[in-house]
Structure 1
């Protein structure tokens, strides 16, 4: 039977090549995200043929990789039957949803929530902020450039400043009063602690030599960069637009898209992400097995 275990940093060596086989843009198909959020979402992982299998709580993310899909579904269903959990998928890419509908008609019931859709932007759009729609963002950038500012890569010499800023940001934003914020900052901290082993890249924004923002991410797939984290103080107007702008120019050249992940239904975050006018959203679906219905296995 399929064996699952808690994800470890050393698993990156075998997981990344399987993720690469599918080349998904969705942020769930990313080792860093699975690793840093594993404690919050109880993520366990395993391998079946050349499929990467990850289970978030009691729900499988539809496996990335390649192999016999019939055998894969049979293995996952047997696992669910033997462990007494429902057979269901979460955060499924639309192509896999369509595949299940075509190959196994009536076998699954599908649902979706826009709260989980990833926001994807043209890299050039975020790097240039051209056009009337982004005029206000350019104004923020131009005003910020009048300050005594600087931008630099995150390196072993300055990463401790990011850790300190993360703690201060948490204090300023009352993370102790919000479970969601506390969990997020725990994930941010794990990312910073293992930053270089995870292959992350990022930048620091300073004003008068003091850190005011940091951000980090990595290449998600063949044409997309994913921004995992973006944190800024609000001491100076435009810190968030400026770190976003600098990251796009520093790390996203040669990649067509930037995935800035989901808004989780948080209204202020949704407003901020929409204000940059995404070129499309990565739609995600859930699928629940209908026992005794549809095509037989």
Structure 2
């Protein structure tokens, strides 16, 4: 039958969980929430069989598959199948996006791969991985400024704030805050993705009860002033933070919700993936300031044809 692509639905996004367990994968794109938010922006299609799950996305450059999710030992045969389809069935060169280090290293051992494919280091797409314990405690010299910001918030708003674990019944209130938050933001949007992200977040809210995710919020003077959405992979003990929005006129609020969300929703997490910065200078500076223990590298490959 070959590779027949279909439009990615919510139900298909949820399949990512089972395929993501075939080997340890730490990139944010292996999470259903991430794929669902960005499905419209990338016009995502997908294919799956008993061996692998593959998303196919459209960018300015071309339409190409993302790294398929499969077992480590199946990477060579899965890649060969996809390459055959692109070259012989579609008569196109195979480009592939967002490969992690493990997948790429297996391909490099394939005879002729490095001559046939150009490898591009995609720094703008690197995910930031943190020590969960450090983000929960903000202990140590490296987090001194963060701890000061947190303590300042706790002092200045003593008796006025409350952290709550939210649910789908709170969606209307979250959306109302999100729209207020948008009205007070200036954006650096190198990839023209901000509006698509907002559309994806609203679609996520509309399907809240069907998606396995955690939501946290902070109320100040009885009004929602920050919220965040995350998910968790118990096999790798890694929490993924997909959305985090806070009132920027309240100093220390971002520090507070960042910490409290991990404490309340992901007590067993050892690692935290706070996703990429998409090359936005301010966002990169903010993510680096939280002292990641590593950057989860991602690569694109382009076939020389």
TM-score by length of 2: 0.89
| Aligned pairs for 1:1-297 within 5 A | 1-57=2-58, 58-66=63-71, 68-81=74-87, 82-105=89-112, 106=114, 107-146=116-155, 147=157, 148-173=160-185, 179-220=192-233, 222-291=236-305
* 8 Å CA contact retained: 1:216, 1:230: yes
Aligned-partner Cα distance in 1 for 2:126–2:76: 27
Matched residue of 1:109: which SS? Answer: strand
Give how far 1:117 is off: 0.6
Distance 1:208 1:27 in 2: 34
Could you list the runs of 5+ residues in structure 1 that have no partner in the other structure? 292-297
Aligned to 1:295: none
CA–CA distance in 1 between the matches of 2:109 and 2:84? 22
Gaps of 5+ in 2: none
TM-score by length of 1: 0.91
Q: May I ask how many residue pairs the two structures share in their alignment?
A: 290
| Post-superposition CA distance 1:215-274 (Å, at most 9, x none) | 011014522100000001122111111110111211222121000000111000011001
Give the direction of change, closer, same or farther, for the CA distance of 1:13–1:269 in structure 2 (3 Å limit): closer
Contact 1:48 1:72 (C-alpha < 8 Å) held by counterparts:
no
Instruction: Quickly say closer, same or farther: Cα 1:70–1:141, change in 2 above 3 A.
Output: closer
C-alpha distance in structure 2 between counterparts of 1:85 and 1:267, whole Å: 35
What is the root-mean-square deviation in Å for CA atoms of aligned residues? 1.9
